[in-house]
A and B are shown apart, each in its own frame.
Chain A
Amino acid sequence: MYSFDYVKPSSLQDALDAISGGGQPLGGGQTLIPTLKQRLAMPEALVDLTGIAELKGVSMSGDKLSVGGATRHADVAASAEVKAKIPALAALAGQIGDPQVRNRGTIGGSIANNDPAACYPSAVLALGATVRTDKREIAADDYFQGLFTTALEEGEVVVGVDFPVPEKAAYQKFVQPASRFALTGVFVAKFAGGVRVAVTGASQDGVFRWSEAEAALSSNFSADAVPAAPVADGMIGDIHGTPEYRAHLVQVMTKRAVAAAG
């Protein structure tokens, strides 16, 4: 990596000041640090957000489950609150990467990066969560805007994510064998008002809602109701899976998620 300055502020305001001064926000560094090691980025300064207490932790805020942006995957996975309210979210966090990744990576870092194969975006989208930043609140449907692209503006920081609590939900992840990112991951959430299905790992446009499945499952929440696989057009093709394979897995993983949700 190239040399850079490093600051670890303890307040959000100090962090924002450092970022506005040209610093690059650093969550758990699970993508950024490897990128730096490969000399693919040359930030002047890293602003480590993981020392900011107000960005960490899980709590109920009204009827929503609120997860701080700098909360680590391991903490979400182990949280009694998350397990009680949205066990599928705890389970998802517990399947990200490996213990080393889960003990460093943060939810804010994950959704700010919006890797098309990351797990968290599917939960945020399927649960219809709200992304809170230092400036505003962004609905999940508006937040994810394609590969590594989000509604975040330059220097905007994810303060937390507020998750509505579903009646039932489940995440089914088909791992890419090498990286163990999601080759295809499907998060299904059933609310009183209907079912939301979000798919990660499969599309060239990043996480997306599978509207045909949502419609079918909203009227009949059973694995048998999951429609035929979506078209392969627009799905990712690489050495681990063709677009056709990923499209097929979308259907299989959706069925399994519905079955797992019970």
Chain B
Amino acid sequence: MPKDTGIGAAVPRTEDRRFTTGKGRYTDDFTVVGLHHAVFVRSPHAHARVTGIDKSAAEAAPGVVAVYDGKQLVGDGVGNLICGWAVSSKDGTPMKMGAWSALATDTVRYVGDAVAVVIAETKAQARDAAEMVEVEYEELPVVVDATDALKPGAPQIHPEAEGNLIYDWEIGDAAATDGAIANAAKVVEIELVNNRLAPNAMEPRAAMAVYDAGTDHLTLHTTSQNPHVARLVLSAFYQIAPEHKLRVIAPDVGGGFGSKIYIYPEEIVCLWAARKAGVPVKWTADRTEAFITDAHGRDHVSKAQLAFDSNNRITGLKVNTVANLGAYMSLFSSCVPTYLYATLLSGQYVIPNIYCDVKAVYTNTVPVDAYRGAGRPEACYLIERLMEKAAKELGVDPGELRRQNFITQFPYQTPVIMTYDIGDFSQTLDAARAAADVAGFAQRKAASEAKGRKRGLGYSCYIEACGIAPSAAVGSLGAGVGLWESAEVRVNPVGSIEVLTGSHSHGQGHETTFAQVVSDRFDLPMDNIKIVHGDTDSVQFGMGTYGSRSGAVGMSAIVKALDKVEAKVKKIAAHVLEASEADIVIEGGAVKVQGTDKQMAWHEVGLAAYTAHNLPEGMEPGLKEGAFYDPTNFTFPAGCYICEVEVDPDTGVVTVENFTAADDFGQVINPLIVEGQVHGGIAQGIGQAMLEHAVYDESGQPLSGSYMDYTMPRADDLPSFKVSTHETFCPGNPLGIKGCGEAGAIGSPPALVNAVLDALSGMGVKHLDMPLTPRRVWEAINAAN
């Protein structure tokens, strides 16, 4: 049984006290004497040449200290924004990346592209003055749809990328896959859209930059998921300041979902402007700015063929995907529709032959990058839609068709790079079917029919890859960074413990989960343990939090550091207690010699380490150990989701009646937090599947740029979820963790769409694209009739 606060214990989140009582401190809560405010002048056009900027009226406005434009930014040597992962086309040519200046110099490429910044004493003054900046635009033709952008004669967005094609990438064996399709007994085909989403973190992005001329040092408070990466990129590529003269603090951060991984133009401009204008500068996005400047997610159009032999075994999968990357290449945009997407196309299945071609495309829309799941939701959606369609066309049970094709032998090498280390897909399928009462579905369907409603049931057997990632492996695939994590464990002289981690919590509950690992190891109360993160001056280094990596990678680094601390503690205790190290045990707040009554209190060991009066010969004083952990493989969370819906055929309204999730996340540290992550992920997945859509009109104007038109999932859109976990322990990291942060958002969309298609199968509806809004569902029913 787990200890009260150890691994596996359902400890309520310690950080929630401050979050729920208004005591959290977010970037916008910080201030300094003399703080000034930045407001950006943004393009109202999706594509235009900037032919002139008249700043004179704004510069003369009350409270204004500076108005800067892109030419000044470039003139001061601030570098263009980078993309951190180099992806090459199948012909070997490097990706065609267009220049992205933090303030546009001569061309704007999406609505919201920043052209100037106003720095004033108050935010209201900065807003007033921003309206006085007169920008002359010469409008250019616009393209917002990625497929359209590839057509001959489409508007050219960047001179560097002819025909708007960034890369045409491939993976897998095209000839073998074509052969499998040609020789198949059955080929199931699909064309689908993975809808574009706006991330909608509760806290909008913000930055506060302070320049200390006395020490020539900059401090940035910002809404970041990875402050060390921000510092690295800001210093190495944007020439803001060398790393030792730049401190980046990501304090409490209210949600990220990927959108706060990237270093955006606003942080760069605030830092540059703070030094240039000689005043501290803060910028906080309003909700409109969040909609039009936060990197969006998804936006794929795909065609796929799934081949079966005469025994309903899969023989091949061929996929063609067009990925919309927006107007500029955001920091990790290139890897999302390639290495984080196509490498998961094998799903939970033995698929001997896979081939995928991905064309990444520029359009006049906000940049697209990783968003909760990042590539894996798109892969899961594609393969799980195909499996359900295949079951319908083959006339077999969708669960059993999946089971028949499950991978059962591990490790399993897919044809698309990944080696799945462990899993038990039948276990989660069976658990989900039982919890969802699949056996009773026919009866419930009949009851729905009796009241004029259509009822459907849909599966999704997802697998994803977390714990990114082995540094050498991602380096060989083009990543610009290593994806290890670091930790330092400090035992203070009085025995309390501080853990400095490079992971960053922006809602995940690390302060609780990580402390549980320490509590478990040394049998100490949670209150003795503090988790420190989010400040480059405190924490040695870190790669941050995304890709559900904080458990599998971040905690593994902590475990490595704990190993070193434990070893030193035992050495000290053995020396002081005159016993053999092998006989030392740590339990109940004491360090004991097994089988005797000899012991030291935990804090006495700390004190001994720091007084250094009686240490083993040659031992350094102190009790503080650091570790870097580089994973040996991805981890592979997997599971089965079953969604049951009712559809009102008169209006097209879909009601989610039941949603069941059976997940394998490996070792669970805190089941409360894991369940919360699954709930949030499913809510986001259902949001994608039936509510959310970032839409642009043909002129590139956002049509869903506020909550009046962008539908967030609300509590009354969702049923009570039935969730459970079923562990197979990850062999690749010390705690056996796989990760749980994104699974809900990855696994749920196809389950919902499959359920609706099942409900409407009797009405002749064969296809729907997300989001399944009432309008779309009604139109599909209408068209089928």
Contact = CB atoms under 8 A, between A and B. Distances in A.
Interface stretch (B369-377, B704-712, B748-756): B704-712
Contacts of A248: 778
27 contacts: A3-B124, A38-B288, A39-B127, A174-B651, A177-B691, A177-B773, A177-B774, A178-B691, A178-B704, A178-B707, A178-B708, A178-B709, A178-B710, A178-B711, A178-B712, A179-B707, A181-B708, A239-B695, A239-B704, A239-B709, A240-B775, A241-B774, A242-B779, A245-B775, A245-B779, A248-B778, A249-B651
Nearest to B287: A37
A39 B709 contact: no
Contacts of B449: none
B778 A245 contact: yes
A179 B708 contact: yes
B400 interface: no
A38 B708 CA distance: 14
Interface string B471-508: 00000000000000000000000000000000000000
Contacts of B651: 174, 249, 252
Given A178-B709, A178-B711, A179-B707, A239 B693 contact: yes
Interface in A52-101: none
A103 to B, nearest CB: 18
B131 interface: yes
Nearest to A240: B775
B291 to A, nearest CB: 12
Contacts, number: 43
B775 A252 contact: no
Closest 3 CB pairs of A and B: A178-B711, A179-B708, A177-B711
Contacts of A239: 693, 695, 703-704, 709
A238 B775 CA distance: 10
Please indicate which of the listed interface residues A38, A178, A242 has the most CB atoms of chain B within 10 Å of its own CB: A178
A178 B712 CA distance: 7
B698 interface: no
Contacts of B779: 242, 245
A102 to B, nearest CB: 15
Interface residues of A, number: 18
A238 B703 CA distance: 9
A252 B648 CA distance: 11
B162 interface: no
B650 interface: yes
B770 to A, nearest CB: 13
A241 B707 contact: no
Given A39-B127, A177-B691, A242-B775, 19 more contacts: A2-B128, A3-B124, A174-B651, A174-B774, A177-B711, A178-B704, A178-B707, A178-B708, A178-B709, A178-B711, A238-B703, A239-B704, A239-B709, A240-B709, A240-B775, A248-B778, A249-B651, A252-B650, A252-B651
Which of under 10, 10 to 19, 20 to 34, or 35 or more describes the interface residues of B? 20 to 34
Interface of B: 124, 127-128, 131, 288, 650-651, 691, 693, 695, 703-704, 707-712, 773-775, 778-779
A245 B652 CA distance: 10
A253 B56 CA distance: 56
Instruction: Classify the interface of chain A: helix, strand, loop or mixed.
Output: loop
Contacts of A252: 650-651
Contacts of A242: 775, 779
Contacts of B775: 240-242, 245
Contacts of B711: 177-178
A238 to B, nearest CB: 8
B704 A39 contact: no
Interface of A: 2-3, 38-39, 174, 177-179, 181, 238-242, 245, 248-249, 252
Nearest to B648: A252
Nearest to A181: B708
Nearest to B707: A178
A181 B288 CA distance: 20
B127 A240 contact: no
Nearest to B127: A39
Among B127, B131, B650, the one with the most A-chain Cβ atoms within 10 Å of its Cβ is B650
Given A242-B779, A245-B778, A39 B131 contact: yes
A252 to B, nearest CB: 5
A177 to B, nearest CB: 4
A174 B708 CA distance: 15
A249 B774 CA distance: 11
A242 B288 CA distance: 25
Contacts of A38: 288
A230 B707 CA distance: 30
Contacts of A245: 775, 778-779
A181 B708 CA distance: 9
A240 B773 contact: yes
Nearest to B653: A174
B373 to A, nearest CB: 22
Nearest to B693: A239
A179 B709 contact: yes
Nearest to A3: B124
A179 B693 CA distance: 14
B755 to A, nearest CB: 18
A245 B775 CA distance: 7
Contacts of A174: 651, 774
A34 B279 CA distance: 31
Contacts of A241: 774-775
A196 B526 CA distance: 67
A108 B651 CA distance: 31
Nearest to B703: A239
Contacts of B778: 245, 248
Nearest to A255: B650
A189 B131 CA distance: 49
Nearest to B771: A177
Nearest to B691: A177
Nearest to A253: B651
A58 B127 CA distance: 43
B26 to A, nearest CB: 21
Contacts of B773: 177, 240
Nearest to A241: B775
A248 B785 CA distance: 15
A26 B709 CA distance: 25
B626 to A, nearest CB: 48
A242 B780 CA distance: 13
A3 B123 CA distance: 13
Contacts of B707: 178-179
A112 to B, nearest CB: 20
A176 B495 CA distance: 58
Contacts of B695: 239
A100 B712 CA distance: 17
A246 to B, nearest CB: 9
A175 to B, nearest CB: 9
B27 to A, nearest CB: 21
A177 B650 CA distance: 16
B593 to A, nearest CB: 63
Contacts of B704: 178, 239
A34 B780 CA distance: 36
Nearest to A242: B775
Contacts of B131: 39
B296 to A, nearest CB: 16
Contacts of B127: 39
Contacts of B128: 2
Contacts of A3: 124
Contacts of A178: 691, 704, 707-712
A212 B477 CA distance: 67
Nearest to B131: A39
A171 to B, nearest CB: 16
Nearest to B704: A239
Most buried by A among B128, B131, B712, B775: B775
Nearest to B773: A177
A99 B712 CA distance: 17
A245 B653 CA distance: 12
A3 B122 CA distance: 13
A242 B695 CA distance: 15
Contacts of A240: 709, 773, 775
